A and B are shown apart, each in its own frame.
Chain A
Amino acid sequence: MRVNFVTGIFFVSALTAAGILTTAVIPFLATIPLIRRKIIIIVEIAIISISLLILYYTSRFYFYPYSFRGLLYVNLYFIASEYIDKASIVDVLGEAGVPIAVALSYYPYLTSIVRDVVFYSRARKKNVFRVTLPIIVQLVKSVQDIWITYNLKLFGNFRKDKIKITSSEIVLLLYGFATLCLSFLLKV
């Protein structure tokens, strides 16, 4: 299931608002069915259980909304990356949205550069500040290569597509709205 950028933002905003204005338990639970990787759910259940136990035994149980809120944001990030059709960002922001959408898709690559350089520096027992040079050189080289790719692939004149509302969009919007209402109605 893929939804357009606008629907995605409405859904994420509705759940974020519910998370901030209430105890965040309901919106957190509402995100669970939308997470595809079961391992994430198992880890989160473990985190919640441990947090609640610690809070209970340290007589700080009233802090529990923070645990749910933190994991709610994590889940919303996963849902946004999984379900939002990134190409639709440009239908909202126009041609100015294209470079931003392209840059965001390089996030995993950029983090992998940092991870690799840090690993290599540790393996060679280099001072941690030495990682700066290879990271920056690789970044600058990559930016120049990405610019060539951009020119080679995105030639011609930009045309916006109309944002279409499909049944998936309506389902997700209703789901977000229902979660928001339930969060206020059920005082969990």
Chain B
Amino acid sequence: MLVISPKGLTGKIELGENERVALVGRSGSGKTLSIKTALCLNSGLSMIDDKSFCETQDFSIVNAVFQEPNTQILSTSLEEELKLISRYHPVDLELAKQLMGKYFTRDFFKLSDGYKRRYVISSVLSFEPKYVLLDEPFANVDREGTSLIAGIIPRGSLIAEHRIPVIREIVDRAYVIEDGRIEEIKKDKLFDEDFLRKNGLRGFKVDKIDTDKGKELLNVNVRGINLRVREGEIVCLVGRNGSGKTTLIKSLAGKIYAIFQNPDLQFFYETVEREVGDDETMRKLGLYKLRERSPYALSYGEKMRVLIASALASKYKVVALDEPTAGLDGVNLISFVELLGSVLNSKRGVIIATHDEEIINICDKIINLS
């Protein structure tokens, strides 16, 4: 049994070898902190069968996969990575081959998002740790990618995740972190929309934004698609990962204000104030108190708010958002929808590229690229 008690949180997380356990909670509640505590990368207690894990820090027993696959590789293909790892400790090549199939030798940077996650998980599973800790393994992965990942999560896994509808199907038990407290909850709670809303979790569909549609702001033919956006309208581009949603938005650069997936690559100034450049917009979007902070040091939800504020402060009439809800918890999702309301009320139009089924309700028009 692995027992984790992170410093700064009350309660503990217990993980048995033969179960899959969910860890849910709002952004910044301490999910990643708990995983880092288990690995002794943070203060707190990490015990295995009543012995401190930090004394040995034997990663063949406890290991983890974090959210960003791009910085969790050691070589350019899983085959080469495992050869490298085998210079340090034994790996099960056959298991990894089975998990990755024909992509075992494929260049990591040519894999789909789902297979990139599968690569990093397979790499860790190939040395068969007793306990695997997964930090948001399903973030920003489409339905196909989700099943690719869900199919290989072994017993002895703790899964920290926002996407409740995906994990409630595969876990045996769950913990929720709320106000600095870790509490075990019944699995049924993950199906209870009221509970999810109350605890700021995802798993419910958001309501439509009621706005008046005005004049046409954009009418372009791009990649064989006629894209038209009116004032107060949300046009959604849907389709699996790799179907061309991002490429389509990129091709509109110059005509629209586009916000892409990694916020950190889109901040060009040291403070929120300089990034947004307009006091009134900052006040309207509740960013004024953060104006002297570094945009890089904010939470994901706050970063999205800064980017949307920059869009509002710009002269552009159409704002495009590429997978904007990927890292948002329930509270941030509701506040994101409210933000969209502000954008629409300022006589702008919005394009959203997404495969998030929970926000489909807000789309006035849907273009399927699959």
The answer to whether A152 and B76 touch (CB under 8 A), given A123-B253, A141-B264, A146-B71, is no
Does B87 interact with chain A (Cβ within 8 Å)? Answer: yes
Segment from B2-10, B58-66, B155-163, B200-208 that makes contact with A? B58-66
Binding site for B on A (CB under 8 A): 85-87, 90-91, 98, 101-102, 105-106, 108-109, 112-113, 116-117, 119-124, 126, 130-131, 133-134, 137-138, 141-142, 145-146, 148-161
CA distance A160 to B88 in the complex (A): 9
B265 close to A113 (CB less than 8 A): yes
Total CB contacts across the A-B interface at under 8 A: 118
CA distance A123 to B269 in the complex (A): 16
Binding site for A on B (CB under 8 A): 39, 41, 58-60, 63-64, 66, 68, 70-76, 80, 83-85, 87-89, 109, 123-124, 250, 253-254, 257-258, 260, 262, 264-270, 296, 310, 314
Chain A neighbourhood of B63, CB < 8 A: 152-153
- Binding site of A, secondary structure by majority: helix, strand, loop or mixed? helix
Min CB distance B271 to A, Å, is: 11
Min CB distance B288 to A, Å, is: 22
B58 close to A134 (CB less than 8 A): no
CA distance A121 to B314 in the complex (A): 14
CA distance A1 to B73 in the complex (A): 23
Query: Which one, A126, A131, A133, A160, contacts B87 given CB within 8 A?
Result: A160
Min CB distance A122 to B, Å, is: 7
A90 close to B84 (CB less than 8 A): yes
CA distance A98 to B87 in the complex (A): 10
CA distance A121 to B268 in the complex (A): 8
The answer to whether A161 and B60 touch (CB under 8 A), given A105-B75, A134-B267, A154-B74, is no
The answer to whether A85 and B83 touch (CB under 8 A), given A119-B253, A152-B59, is yes
Chain B neighbourhood of A120, CB < 8 A: 260, 265-266
B265 close to A117 (CB less than 8 A): yes
CA distance A159 to B86 in the complex (A): 9
- A134, closest chain B residue (CB): B265
B59 close to A149 (CB less than 8 A): no
Chain B neighbourhood of A152, CB < 8 A: 39, 59, 63-64, 124
A130 close to B268 (CB less than 8 A): yes
Given A85-B80, A102-B74, A158-B87; 4 other pairs, CB 8 A cutoff: A90-B87, A101-B84, A105-B76, A160-B87
CA distance A133 to B294 in the complex (A): 12
B266 close to A153 (CB less than 8 A): no
B123 close to A153 (CB less than 8 A): yes
A109 close to B265 (CB less than 8 A): no
A134 close to B266 (CB less than 8 A): yes
Chain A neighbourhood of B84, CB < 8 A: 86-87, 90, 98, 101-102, 154
B262 close to A116 (CB less than 8 A): yes
Min CB distance A161 to B, Å, is: 7
- A147, closest chain B residue (CB): B71
Chain B neighbourhood of A150, CB < 8 A: 74
CA distance A56 to B250 in the complex (A): 42
A158 close to B80 (CB less than 8 A): no
Chain B neighbourhood of A112, CB < 8 A: 109
B264 close to A137 (CB less than 8 A): yes
The answer to whether A87 and B75 touch (CB under 8 A), given A119-B253, A145-B68, is yes
CA distance A116 to B265 in the complex (A): 7
- A154, closest chain B residue (CB): B88
A126 close to B268 (CB less than 8 A): yes
B267 close to A153 (CB less than 8 A): no
A87 close to B80 (CB less than 8 A): yes
A134 close to B268 (CB less than 8 A): yes
Min CB distance B115 to A, Å, is: 16
A109 close to B74 (CB less than 8 A): no
CA distance A157 to B73 in the complex (A): 20
The answer to whether A155 and B58 touch (CB under 8 A), given A101-B75, A150-B74, is yes
B83 close to A122 (CB less than 8 A): no
B250 close to A119 (CB less than 8 A): yes
